[in-house]
Amino acid sequence: MDTRQSNPGLAMAVDEVVLRGALTALDHIRVVLVEPQHSGNIGAVARAMKNMAISRLILVNPADHLAMEARMMAMHAFDILQHAQVVETLSQAVADTGYVVGTTRRLGKSRQAQHSSRSIAPLLLELATTNPVALVFGREDSGLSNDELAQCHELINIPAHPTFGSLNLAQAVLLVCYELYVTTATQPVSTLPTLATAAELERLYTRMRAVLRHIGFLHGSHPDRMMGYFRRFFARYGLKSRDVKIFLGVFRQVEWYISRHHDEKPVKHGPERSEASHP
């Protein structure tokens, strides 16, 4: 016998706990707009977010998000526009996030969307209980570039009619956020571990790329194609900060071995903060 049916008070208490967990997950989800070109679209996005209980908006090189057109389209979501964070690059927008989801309409080798907005919703809510999660939307006319898509852990596609699948920016945001909101009401939200941030992962990928190029593993005219595989592989398994430090230690040891035994200069890679040799 279901004890919740025999004890309505218990059922309400459990439902309240589940709802609080779900809303907490939504609090950890941020919408990132990359170079939105029209103020009205930014305002409409803010309204769509508020409809679905998502309040964190980050704008990368946007049009004026406080213009009158944006305010009119936002309606009662002007507070989201007021508190929106403006940054210069996508890397800055997602640096402290644990999971980054890019949206794409066009599909191809570098745009392999494995999930729809509906199928990925339960995973995103689980991740968002302990990790900041970013939903990244591209420009109205051209979407996200391949370099920007490479910064995403996962790509999603919003199903639409194949002959006219282009969605307005605010429509796309609304559909993705809707799937998340509906999922909070229909499925219990469990908790997943805290993941390494996007900034930590980028430090790992920068060092990995430099070492693999140095030893000749990455070669030819498309060295980043293999790096794209590594990015997807590590995203699939959800590296934690400790995991990143271990892999960084491995590549540091490879660099040391090359310089010591082959009398070569250390591998050149981008700037990186120092970490302990062992986690």
Please give the Cα distance from 199 to 183 (Å, whole number): 29
CATH number of the CATH domain containing 57: 3.40.1280.10
121 and 35 belong to one structural domain: yes
- Domain boundary residue among 186, 207, 237? 186
165 and 220 belong to one structural domain: no
pLDDT value for 115: 85
Structural domains of the chain, count? 2
How confident is the model over 4-45, as pLDDT tens digits?
444 444 344 334 434 555 567 899 999 999 999 999 999 999
146 and 208 belong to one structural domain: no
Q: Is residue 192 part of a domain?
A: no
180 and 159 belong to one structural domain: yes
pLDDT value for 1: 44
pTM score of the predicted model? 0.70
Q: Is residue 266 part of a domain?
A: no
Q: Is residue 250 part of a domain?
A: yes
Residue-number span of the structural domain to which 136 is assigned: 3-186
142 and 224 belong to one structural domain: no
- pLDDT under 70 in the chain at which residues? 1-23, 106-113, 187-192, 220-221, 223, 262-279
CATH number of the CATH domain containing 224: 1.10.8.590
How confident is the model over 239-279, as pLDDT tens digits?
888 888 888 888 888 888 887 776 555 555 555 444 434 43
